[in-house]
Structure formats: C-alpha cells, structure tokens
Structure 1
Amino acid sequence: MSSTSESVNMTEELSEEVVIPYAEIPDFKEGKCKDADRDQPMSINKVDFSDVASLMTACPQLDQVKALNLLCEYQVDEAIKQGKKMNVPKRRYVPKQIIKLLGHPLEQDVVRGQRKRKMTEKMTDYVMAKRMKETGKKKFSIMGHEIP
C-alpha cells in the first residue's frame, strides 16, 4: 500500500511542477479580418502553349513539368535564361557511380531472369526425378512430349 501512495504523491508533485507558459499576443483583435487585399485573387502568370514550345526548343534538357514550373515563376525571356542555367540529366539516365555501386538496371533484369530460369529448371528436374522414382520408368511424356 505504501508504494501506491508514494506513486500518487510523486504524480501530484510532477503535475504541480510542469507549467506550460502561453505566449501573449499583443495586438490580438477578435472578429473578422478587415484587410482589403485578403480575399483578392493572386496574380498568376498565364502560360501559353507557344511559350512552352519556345522554352522547350531553347532548353531541350528540360521536361514539360520543369518548363511549366519555370514559366509559372518567370516571364518567357527570364524562364529561358533560368532554363539554360539548369543542368538536368536526360530521362532514364543512370549516373556511372550508381551503376558501379548497384549495377546497371538492365543487367539486373537479365540476372533476375537467369535466376528465375534456373529455379524453374531445378523444379522441373525435381518433378521429373520424382515421377521417375514413383513410376519406375526411365521415359515418360509431359504434355505429349516424350522425355528420355
């Protein structure tokens, strides 16, 4: 019983010590916002298809999404300047360092295919050996093909 009363006393002491101060907001006014520009629509650059085409021809390394992002932020001339500064790798480009560390993705697909083929060969060899053991025959056919 003494252990429970001690734990109750400790929790009371802890709850008394923990005080969370709240920050005071000096110029707080309750009510609706009366700012004139609060509900005004923001000015957004309208993007024209010809602008996107001119940016894509001037900066072929950019994809369409990055071109649209640049055109939303800047005017066409400034977007072309910014796009020429950007160094963007081509799509599906894999840097040599990553190839050294992980191997080329296409090679990984080939290796996976080889592993899968070996597993199926092992399974077919196992199934054939099991059937030969069960039947006692040295020749049998699978789907009409005679296997020696």
Structure 2
Amino acid sequence: MCNTSDVVIMTEDLSEVKIPEYADLPDFNEGKCEDADRDQPMPINKIDFSDVASLMTACPQLDQVKALNLLCEYPVEEAIKQGKKMSVPKRGYVPKQIIKLLGHPLEQDVVRGQRKRKLTEKMSDYVMAKRMKETGKKKFSIMGHEIP
C-alpha cells in the first residue's frame, strides 16, 4: 500500500526539477529556409472521372479499386500501359484445383442440401463396399460401379 506522505514527497521532487526552455543546438540557424524546393507547393494528382472511365474501357479486367490505385500512382497513359500488363482473374473465377478439392463455391449455397445428401450417399456406398469386402464377396460396387 502507498501512503499519502510518499505521494506528497514524490510530487515535491518533481516540482524541483528544472527543465531548460530551449535546447542548445550548435548547428541551429534561425531564419528562412534557403532550400528553394521546400518553399514550393507539391503538385497533387487529381483524378477525373473521365480518366477512370477511359482506363476501365481500355483495361476491362481491372476493377474500380485497382483502376483508382493505378491512376493515383501514374498519369492516364502510363496507367493504361500498366493496366494492360496486369492479369487479374475475372470475378467468380475459381481455380480447378479448388473445385476438385472443395466443389464450386458458387454452387454450394444453391444446392447445399443436395451436396449433403450426395456426401452421405457416397459415405454409405463406401461403408457398404467395405463391409462386402470384409465378408469375402468377390464383387462389390461403389456408386453403381462394380469393382472386382
């Protein structure tokens, strides 16, 4: 626990410390800046709606966010050149590897019940085939295909 007398002593110690008003810098010069570049205002790249439209028509693979980012960095002609170099997948494009592993994500929401039913059918066929194999039957089928 802290006593009130300790707190009073600490505040008295802090009040006794003197802080210098200005730091003593040997290389500090007061006056106007001699560098001419610092006194000039910086140009701001203003984006016009017609520039965005021309970039979007020249590069249809770009979305609006990427078009604005390009126009912020480059002038219109250079932005069109950079935009044509960029390869952006179309919206809704899903790589084939992901479709093989997970199924198409756009179809999952529409036929969620059907997918679940198909998965249970596949599992039940697999379990039946495994049991038939364990019992010693020579031919069994998985999903309608006979396997020797």
TM interval, shorter chain, is: 0.3 to 0.5
Point out which structure has higher relative CO (alpha carbons under 8 A, 6+ apart). Answer: 1
